[in-house]
Structure 1
Amino acid sequence: MIQRILTIILVVFLPLTVIGNLMHFDEVLLFALACITIIPLAGIMGRATESIAIHSGPRIGGLLNATFGNAVELIIAFLALREGLTQVVQASLTGSVIGNLLLVAGLSFLVGGIKYPVQKFNPSIARTNSSMMMLGVVIALIIPAIFSAQNPNIANNLSIGVAVVSLALYLLGLYFALITHRHVFHFAGDMEEEVAEWSMKKASIILALATLAVAYVSETLVHTIETVSHTLGWSEVFIGVIIVAIIGNAAEHSSAILMAWKNRMDLSMEIAVGSSLQIAMFVAPLLVFAGWFLGNPLPLVFSWPELAAMSLAVLLTAFIANDGESHWLEGAMALGAYLIIGIGFYFL
């Protein structure tokens, strides 16, 4: 049912976005069209990647899922970075981290908790992911802010060093989870038990076409951000933290919530927390390197509100998830934290 709805949205809104670009529609309307269109495109990219991953086997498949899991956010951020919108890029990274940890996990706990009084998931995975998140967010992103405050001239070089270390540790984490300790990270619903939706060839073609479409629509989205900011009175930080982050993850959000409703909390948590790890330790470093290549450096020096929001999201998720159990009240607490943070960024 969800896939059918997303297909209808895509068939209607992708042509409208193209026509709007050609006919020079009002930029606020174009922004809205682009936001809506990206949601089903992200869903199609996820389905294609999943099919390719299943055909490729569990180890390569896990790597493919990790690599393409946040492809939409990476495309949007790359285009924004090319335009010099570094504040929007930093805000979108912040929004993706807190959105996955608080909004997605919170909704998953809440929705699943309505149906099941207590839901269980692998506590070993939860603890490992919590440790990685503490490193990738609380340490790797706060340290540049502290040291750059003492000497702003070192921000870019420091960011490149942090990006190298974060990316290396993320790859080591994948090796740990997919090869040396795969038995610890095995849970119901692993890829060998699944059937691919599409053939390898069909999935590859669909993934390529969807990626091109996302790039086109994201170009529209990025070009209209400044106009939307001035017209609606929204700061670029709020647009990045809330709007861009939510639309880039919308399809993934629905998958996590659906898994929770089916009492497959291991998969739900892997989507929510795993995506945050990808953003902090994979996507952010790649964007640092991309900024250096484009001549628009992206320092990993976030504002203190952004750092506080991400750090508190990591700490709350760690406290909630480390026991390997969840219920609806924990979901409500995570959602409440997200709403408080969202209100703060709106008035920032």
Structure 2
Amino acid sequence: MVNRIFLIAVAAGLPLSIAGSILQWPSLIMFGIYCLTIVALAGYMGRATESLAIVAGPRIGGLLNATFGNAVELIISIFALQAGLTGVVLASLTGSVIGNLLLVGGLSFLVGGLKHKRQEFSVYDARHNSGLLIFSVIVAFVIPEVFAMDMDEAKTISFSVGISVILIVLYLFALFFRLVTHRGVYKHKTDEAGEHEEPEWGAKKAIVVLLLATAAVAYVSENLVHTFETVGEQLGWSELFIGVIIVAVVGNAAEHASAIVMAFKNKMNIAVEIAVGSTLQIAMFVAPLLVLLSLLFEQSMPLVFTMPELISMVTAVFLTIILTNDGDTNWFEGATLLAAYLIMGIGFYLL
């Protein structure tokens, strides 16, 4: 039933998105159409990722989902950088970090916990991710803010470039560590879940669906960006709120849907890998890559966030680490993460 609804939404949403962008329909109407279309396409990305996860394992499946999901936000951010909207890009990166950890993680734990009283995932992966979260968000994001206070703009950009290169190199090392040198070294009983399950689609079909859905989401997302200014004025949304909440939620809709579905099916290793893995990919790869790409445009983007953005990201990291470091979760922990996200969302709305 749900799959049929997604099929109808995609079949109707894509033509309407194309027609509306050509005929310049009202921004509020197109905003709704774009968002619904992206959510429907995210459903297909989730099904394709689940099939790949069964074939390739939870780690690679989660990594693929995070990568395809973040590709959408990367495309949106590049267009925003080209337009000189560095503040919106930094805000969207903040929104991705707190959104993945608190919103996606919270909904996954809540939905999964309501069906399964207790859910387990790899404690070794949780502890490994904890160290990377502290490094990538607290060290690599807070340190530039502190040092930038005594630097001019040119030195701040140079410092940001240096940090970005280090982050990307360490992220590649982290992938090599988990997928090559230490693959299978740390085993957990839930790693074997779904071992004999048959995937809905074969690997080739799943990859084709992922590629087509990502291309469609990128097209719709690019048009969605052009509606933000008008919609923000009509609904009273600030640029910061649009970046932190709206762009982040819509841009990461694919992994949002996938993580919740995986948690509902008690595949917590994949759900956690999507939520936390996507955060790490944003902080250690997407953000530094955008800093480097911004050098190609008229206005370069330093890796310096505002104080509310920094405090929100640091809080999200510490809360996530405290709740996930035991490799065990329940619906109440999910509700706690969601409550933190709502508090931050209200704060960004009122700023």
Matched, 1:139 2:142: no
8 Å Cα contact 1:59-1:179 kept in structure 2: no
The 1-side partners of 2:48 and 2:112 are apart by: 26
- Cα offset, 1:188, TM superposition: 2.7
| Partner deviation per Cα, 1:96-141 (whole Å, 9 max, x = no partner) | 1111111111122222222333222211111110110111111111
- Structure 1 residues without counterparts, runs of 5 or longer: none
Which shifted more, 13-22 or 165-174?
Answer: 13-22
Is contact 2:258-2:271 (8 Å) kept? yes
1:79 matches 2:79: yes
Partner of 1:323: 326
Q: Distance in 2 between matches of 1:56 and 1:285?
A: 28
1:313 aligned partner, one-letter code: A
Q: In 2, Cα distance between the equivalents of 1:261 and 1:211? A: 24
**Alignment partner of 1:299: what SS?**
coil
Q: Does 1:270 align with 2:268?
A: no
CA distance in 2, matches of 1:82, 1:53: 35
Conserved? CA contact 1:7–1:40, under 8 Å: yes
- CA-CA distance at 1:295 after TM superposition: 3.3
The residue that corresponds to 1:115 in the other structure is: 115
Contact between 1:136 and 1:281, CA under 8 Å: does it hold in 2?
Answer: yes
- Evaluate the alpha carbon distance shift between residue 54 and residue 69 of structure 1 in structure 2; reply closer, same or farther with a 3 A threshold: farther
Query: Which position in structure 1 is the counterpart of 2:181?
Result: 180
Q: Does 1:151 align with 2:154?
A: no
Superposed CA deviations along residues 174-199 of structure 1, whole A, max 9, x for unmatched, are: 11111111112665368976655445
Q: Give distance in 2, aligned partners of 1:296 and 1:197.
A: 46
Q: Specify whether residues 279 and 194 from structure 1 end up closer, same or farther in structure 2 by C-alpha distance, changes over 3 A only.
A: farther
The aligned counterpart of 1:309 is 312
For residue 258 of structure 2, what is the amino acid of its counterpart? Answer: S
Question: Which has the larger displacement, 247-256 or 139-148?
Answer: 247-256
Q: Please tell me whether the aligned partners of residues 102 and 313 of structure 1 are also in contact (alpha carbons under 8 angstroms).
A: yes
SS at match of 1:294: coil
Shift of 1:149: 1.7
Write the letter of the residue equivalent to 1:161: G
Q: Deviations over 1:9-37 (max 9, x none)?
A: 11122111111112111122222222222
Aligned residues: 348
Counting aligned pairs with the same residue, the percent is 57
- The whole-number CA distance in structure 2 between the counterparts of 1:226 and 1:214 is 20
Partner of 2:289: 286
Cα distance, 1:164–1:54 mapped onto 2, change above 3 Å: farther
In structure 2, what residue type is equivalent to 1:151? M
SS at match of 1:140: helix
Partner of 2:183, secondary structure, is coil
Aligned residue for 1:293, secondary structure, equals coil
Cα RMSD, aligned residues only: 2.5
Whichever residue aligns with residue 254 of structure 1, its letter is A
Cα distance, 1:69–1:33 mapped onto 2, change above 3 Å: closer
- Distance across 2 between alignment mates of 1:195 and 1:294: 47
What is the rounded CA distance, in whole Å, between the counterparts of 2:51 and 2:110 in structure 1?
A: 29
Amino acid at match of 1:172: F
* Deviates most, 127-136 or 261-270: 261-270
Aligned to 1:14: 14
Matches of residues 1-348 of structure 1 in structure 2 within 5 Å?
A: 1-48=1-48, 64-65=64-65, 67-153=67-153, 154-183=155-184, 184=186, 187-188=190-191, 195=198, 197-199=200-202, 202-348=205-351
**In the superposition, relative to structure 1, how do residues 132 and 251 fare at CA in structure 2: closer, same or farther (>3 Å)?**
same
Which letter maps to 2:13?
Answer: F
Between 190-199 and 3-12, report the one with greater CA deviation: 190-199
TM score, norm. by length of structure 1: 0.90
Question: 1:337: Cα distance to partner?
Answer: 0.5
CA gap of 1:107–1:53, structure 2 versus 1, over 3 A, is: closer
Q: 1:279 to 1:346 in 2, by over 3 A?
A: same
- Please state how far the C-alpha of 1:321 moved relative to its aligned partner: 0.7
1:150-197: per-residue Cα shift (whole Å, max 9, x none)?
A: 213222111111111111111111111111111126653689766554
Structure 2 distance, partners of 1:116, 1:58, is 19
| Alpha-carbon distance change, 113 to 208 in structure 1, aligned in 2, over 3 angstroms | closer
Amino acid at match of 2:179: L
The whole-number CA distance in structure 1 between the counterparts of 2:263 and 2:180 is: 27
Aligned counterparts of 2:346 and 2:29: Cα–Cα separation in 1 = 24
- Distance, in Å, in 2 between the alignment partners of 1:105 and 1:53 is 19
Unaligned runs of 5+ residues in structure 2 are none
